[in-house]
A and B are shown apart, each in its own frame.
Chain A
């Protein structure tokens, strides 16, 4: 598929402090109702006192290249947008939740108004040339939105010399959140 843009997110686990500013910013920006979230924090501590390691991540929809949510959506509500993001058309959604069952990342929730919702990479902001709300507010600059089809070199620059991983690769979804370690 030839696309003008192909948005992805690069997340630096070294600097993220798990503060949740990204979650609050997202909730305000996207009117995520009480009791739900589009992004969230996972904090993993391993080892035994006093030999411990910690990893913190700010997680969200991976905007998969091979998105099972799109594959399984009977109505076409979940779809690939032309910019490399996966979006939901609320007017087409029946709330059948096939996509919730299909998403290996549990990235979606059922909005109380009946449709399913998830991170949109703040597509409405991208269209205005703005960065996503979570990216903008993150005090540690742990979150970076990149356009894989752009030749601005940002992606390469960010991963330079770093270990990059993706989540749940065996799921075959080709996720587009890239984790820096």
Chain B
């Protein structure tokens, strides 16, 4: 009898109770006045968020020189007055007690390595000296800069001037690289970031993975909700019942790794039933017949056999796509490095979108523009390349050459491989700005091995992230709330230019990136490289836009209204592909020896007793960078492992218990993770939010909370077309000890 009401309430599992978060002293709370009412801010400063890479405009509220609140900037087209949860908790980074406070230099005392506090002068001198030595001996090509984030620009300028020319970021081969290359191969241009997608006006939206709502890019979620409000039908293809799936008309719990088969099945139906936009394709695309030949056998029945999705659902979605046509959108995703077939899968998505004719149509793929391009002359004047004065490049022919024919950027994992192998030329030093390579590259053993082999590693970070533990010199950058950066002048549907400006003075001895780059430029013998101070530099750029620093500081953002998003009826379209048309069958792929029409390859199957490891985002965290944020961590201090109820019970797992994970290569997680038994996932896969399981004890709050997905990702399935590292072909099982 008692179960009756037990069932009613015991199941309210407050996922993360306060107890785990409380007691760690939250430095942000000022003594609340007992009186009613909340005090007014002393000032409100408009700047740009950097808790993720989306760059929303934020208004920072300051009282007594403390940032106590962040809100969305009203006019900023990426915020529209709103912020995602992470943006709301940015002050947790600013006041993180574990922040890097001063430069650190690795030294060996009595055979024991340790970090020693150093002055900026000492640290930057050391870097200049070591870079000088290394580049003299091995050439400037032996130094590689890794970065992720907006603040890297000054260092790119610095190193470019010095002759260092290899720049890599995990936002390429670990993130949206395959999407960029696939859309370039198909339409001649990438989809961009922020994506040139008219989600808000879509009437039929297909999401593959893309877990909008958990993937919390502010404007993307705003657009998603506005589409739903306007009655957009949503289809979510995901092995997990994501939040987006909860909003969907159809949730297709696909067998992981078979998306390409599903996409081919849809293309098959569209072509077979002639439900594609015939006129648009005739005028603008090539390779239709070859496409048909390529998908001829991808029948709904075959697609069902591969994906596990019922035939009726496959057919219905395809017909709906045809019916909604140009107002439908198959979202290309963002983090798409899954199975090694990623460029081809993205190609299939590009082809589907082409077939329904949504190119530059309301609800489809749109054209985005820049505010006012800064005149090139200005850049030259400012960043006068020093290369000529510094003939330090010993072997100019040693520019980075990817093994993968369509890698338009440098795949980070290739640098890792090259560092280990030393071929075709040695890599001796890494300069790492704002990316935690230990957690973001997968195959950690390889990254660690590469780090061991390097002569000199510099890390510029705000926190003692794992990567800093492997550095010889650590430079503490101040947070985005304490600094200027370059203007944000990206391509977007509403062209805009926005400012990042200091809200409060840098805490401790941390310095803004531009200041660090300037210090380095002096030590590296380029004293004039940043001869303008940052305000003069920004002001000069803004003058070119008929504005000024003073103005932008006040308004935060300048924008012009959107235009030319959509094509005009009868407008002749030109695509930057070899044929000048949309390439349904890719000539460039064919020439390079790849399938011109995407063909499906089955991914490896689960070893018995193992679950495929999937991962994703939680709305209140950005990868590993917010795990130590006391504000954001309060509502989610750790990640959980989602296991299907039935499968979990078969494995004798208990809801809420903590287990270690062991992967197919026998690698055991260093930390434990809490089991969440749920109906919301297929029985053959498990899921966790990426970015927990920190192993650097200096991150006191995040330390050892949850498991890092990268720990378990030792198999990287490399995309042969452009070198992306597919991470979803890893399998785990559980152990209690």
Contacts and interface: CB of A to CB of B under 8 A. Distances in A.
| Direct interface between A and B, CB < 8 A | yes
A91 B34 contact: yes
A25 B619 contact: no
A170 B692 CA distance: 43
Interface residues of A, number: 45
Given A24-B89, A28-B70, A48-B679, A140 B221 contact: yes
B71 A34 contact: no
Contact of A33 (B26, B38, B81, B645): B26
Contacts of A124: 36-38
Interface stretch (A15-23, A67-75, A149-157): A15-23
A108 B365 CA distance: 47
B229 A54 contact: no
Contacts of A20: 85, 619-620, 635
Interface stretch (B246-254, B297-305, B405-413): B246-254
A115 B36 CA distance: 12
B620 A24 contact: yes
Contacts of A115: 34
A15 B225 contact: yes
B618 to A, nearest CB: 9
A136 B21 contact: no
B246 A136 contact: no
B22 A34 contact: yes
B68 A28 contact: yes
Nearest to A47: B679
B634 to A, nearest CB: 6
A45 interface: yes
Contacts of A56: 243, 246
A113 interface: yes
B110 interface: no
Interface centre among B32, B619, B645 (most CB of A within 10 A): B32
B337 interface: no
Nearest to B228: A15
Given A29-B38, A47-B679, A139-B222, A21 B71 contact: no
A25 B679 contact: no
A2 interface: no
A138 interface: yes
A14 B228 contact: yes
A50 interface: yes
Interface string A39-62: 000000101111011111000000
Contact of B26 (A18, A29, A34): A34
Contacts of B221: 17, 19, 139-140
B148 interface: no
B213 A19 contact: yes
Given A23-B635, A31-B38, A139 B82 contact: yes
Contacts of A49: 241, 253, 644-646, 679-683
B526 interface: no
B675 interface: no
Contact of A25 (B30, B36, B88, B681): B88
Nearest to B88: A24
Given A91-B34, A140-B222, A140-B225, A19 B84 contact: yes
A25 B253 contact: no
Contact of A142 (B34, B216, B225, B635): B225
Interface in A63-119: 89-91, 111, 113, 115
B667 interface: no
Given A19-B620, A29-B69, A35-B21, A54 B83 contact: no
Given A28-B68, A45-B680, A17 B225 contact: yes
Given A33-B26, A139-B218, A21 B85 contact: yes
A14 B229 contact: yes
A25 B70 CA distance: 8
Contact of A50 (B224, B251, B646): B251
A173 interface: no
B241 A137 contact: no
B18 interface: yes
B18 to A, nearest CB: 4
Given A30-B38, A49-B682, A52-B241, A111 B84 contact: no
B26 A52 contact: no
Nearest to A18: B243
A45 B619 contact: no
A165 interface: no
A166 interface: no
A154 B624 CA distance: 42
B246 A19 contact: no
A41 B83 CA distance: 17
Nearest to B56: A139
A150 B17 CA distance: 40
Interface in B18-40: 18, 21-22, 26, 29-30, 32, 34-38
B97 to A, nearest CB: 13
B75 interface: no
Given A17-B221, A23-B635, A49-B644, A136 B34 contact: no
Contacts of B486: none
B214 interface: yes
Contact of B631 (A24, A29, A140): A24
B72 interface: yes
Interface string B397-432: 000000000000000000000000000000000000
Contacts of B646: 49
Given A90-B34, A113-B32, A137 B82 contact: yes
A156 B264 CA distance: 46
A12 B635 CA distance: 22
Nearest to A12: B229
A90 B679 contact: no
A35 B22 contact: yes
A14 B213 CA distance: 12
B46 interface: no
Contacts of B682: 49-50
Contact of A53 (B18, B36, B246): B246
A49 B678 CA distance: 9
B213 A18 contact: yes
A49 B645 CA distance: 9
B319 to A, nearest CB: 21
Interface centre among A25, A33, A45 (most CB of B within 10 A): A25
Contacts of B69: 25, 28-29, 133
A141 B80 CA distance: 11
B38 A52 contact: no
B17 to A, nearest CB: 9
B710 interface: no
A57 to B, nearest CB: 12
A33 B84 contact: no
Contacts of A30: 38
A25 B26 contact: no
A51 to B, nearest CB: 9
B30 A31 contact: yes
Contact of A24 (B18, B241, B247, B632): B632
7 contacts: A15-B247, A20-B85, A25-B69, A25-B88, A52-B251, A113-B34, A139-B84
Interface of A: 12, 14-15, 17-21, 23-25, 27-31, 33-36, 45, 47-50, 52-56, 89-91, 111, 113, 115, 124, 133, 136-142
Given A17-B225, A36-B18, 5 more contacts: A17-B224, A31-B32, A33-B26, A34-B630, A142-B225
Q: Which 7 A-B pairs have the closest CB atoms?
A: A54-B246, A17-B213, A140-B225, A19-B619, A24-B88, A34-B26, A15-B225
